[in-house]
């Protein structure tokens, strides 16, 4: 399943699945044509960068960032996601149209908050043979986040001060669950138990109780705890390193979790989007080296999509030994 969060101007995301989805890093230049299912043709004012499958020249983004550093990701939300028939006087969008629509024309979560209530997520697949994935979304800039969940009771919009999302259960579960971990501490703990001035036998004892399993609820807590305690700096490389360490801590290792069909659920890729540098960094399950694509270096007035094929081969740097 997945983990996504915003942390000090970086947006990190693990994509966990049984298999890849022909994903590539795709940059959509400005004013690219998105034929929407509600009958309108949408053109994006801001360029986008993110991981996507391209079908019929249409980038189906898993997550993306626009030129203003606004980020959005769709995460798996099985059994709970519900999409509706089209309805008049609403902002009718299919799930895969949300990212181009919101990132294509808004600069901030603040802007989106004023129109998001008109949103009505509709049940039209991109192609008849491509059923819609059940998703929920996080939209984040450096200051604010929104969570969107379209369920049988309609669209739920949560202003999210935690800046993080995983999967099921619906978001309010995670909000409440966080309270159960508020007393844990990265600090050297005191003896509240036997009141005999017992000393920790090692480091990390104030963190006992942090979950390490792979349920979405536990990945939410572990990643939240790490990002809210992470030491950040002024150095882009150090910060990227921190984001990937946090993602690594909740990444799924092949063999550790089986799906209902007994397949391996694993972290297909991890990415980190720098809201400031407008760079998309990623690494794949099989290649530890971080790959970077810099939107600032591209001509964003281009007419075609930029497509960057993933480097999945483990690129080990061997020392010269002769």
Give the catalytic positions in this structure. 2
Tell the smallest beta-carbon distance from residue 13 to a second copy (Å): 16
How far from 270 is each of 3, 86, 302, CA to CA, in Å? 9, 34, 27
Q: Give the CA count within 13 Å in the CB-facing half-sphere of 122.
A: 17
Tell me the C-alpha distance between 262 and 273, whole Å: 32
How far from 289 is each of 2, 58, 212, 282, CA to CA, in Å? 21, 28, 25, 9
Nearer to a second copy, 36 or 157 (CB): 157
Residues listed for the chain: 322
Tell the smallest beta-carbon distance from residue 190 to a second copy (Å): 7
- 195: helix, strand or coil: coil
Tell the smallest beta-carbon distance from residue 30 to a second copy (Å): 16
C-beta of residue 232 within 8 angstroms of C-beta of residue 239: yes
Tell the smallest beta-carbon distance from residue 104 to a second copy (Å): 21
- 109: helix, strand or coil: helix
Nearer to a second copy, 124 or 243 (CB): 243
Q: Name every residue whose Cβ is closer than 8 Å to that of residue 7 and which is 6 or more positions away in sequence.
A: 163, 227, 230, 232, 242, 243, 246
- 277: helix, strand or coil: coil
Nearer to a second copy, 35 or 204 (CB): 204
Tell me the C-alpha distance between 2 and 138, whole Å: 12
Q: Give the CA count within 13 Å in the CB-facing half-sphere of 187.
A: 5
Nearer to a second copy, 303 or 319 (CB): 319
Tell me the C-alpha distance between 217 and 90, whole Å: 33
Tell the smallest beta-carbon distance from residue 218 to a second copy (Å): 7
The H or E element containing residue 255 is: none
Q: Angle CA(137)–CA(143)–CA(145) in degrees, nearest 5?
A: 15
Nearer to a second copy, 109 or 246 (CB): 246
Tell the smallest beta-carbon distance from residue 74 to a second copy (Å): 16
- 224: helix, strand or coil: helix
Nearer to a second copy, 40 or 190 (CB): 190
């Amino acid at each position: 399943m997945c983990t996504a969060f915003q942390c000090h101007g970086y947006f990190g995301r693990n994509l966990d699945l049984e298999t890849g989805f022909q994903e590539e890093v795709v940059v959509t230049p400005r004013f690219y044509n998105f034929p929407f299912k509600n009958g309108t043709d949408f053109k994006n004012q801001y360029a986008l960068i993110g991981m996507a499958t391209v079908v019929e020249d249409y980038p189906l983004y898993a997550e993306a960032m626009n030129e203003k550093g606004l980020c959005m990701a769709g995460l798996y939300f099985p059994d709970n996601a519900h999409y509706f028939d089209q309805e008049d006087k609403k902002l009718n969008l299919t799930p895969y149209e949300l990212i181009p629509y919101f990132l294509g024309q808004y600069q901030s979560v603040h802007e989106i908050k004023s129109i998001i209530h008109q949103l009505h997520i509709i049940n039209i697949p991109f192609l008849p043979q491509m059923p819609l994935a059940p998703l929920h979304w996080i939209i984040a800039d450096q200051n604010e986040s929104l969570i969107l969940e379209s369920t049988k009771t309609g669209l739920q919009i949560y202003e999210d001060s935690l800046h993080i999302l995983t999967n099921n259960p619906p978001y309010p579960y995670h909000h409440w669950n966080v309270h159960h971990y508020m007393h844990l501490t990265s600090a050297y703990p005191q003896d509240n138990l036997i009141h005999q001035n017992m000393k920790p036998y090692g480091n990390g004892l104030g963190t006992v109780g942090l979950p390490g399993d792979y349920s979405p609820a536990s990945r939410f807590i572990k990643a939240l705890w790490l990002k809210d305690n992470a030491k950040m700096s002024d150095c882009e490389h150090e910060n990227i390193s921190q984001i990937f360490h946090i993602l690594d801590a909740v990444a799924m290792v092949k063999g550790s979790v089986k799906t209902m069909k007994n397949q391996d659920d694993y972290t297909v890729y991890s990415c980190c989007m720098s809201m400031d540098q407008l760079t998309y960094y990623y690494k794949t399950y099989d290649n530890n080296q971080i790959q970077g694509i810099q939107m600032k270096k591209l001509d964003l007035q281009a007419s075609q999509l930029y497509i960057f094929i993933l480097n999945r081969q483990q690129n080990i740097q061997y020392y010269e030994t002769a």
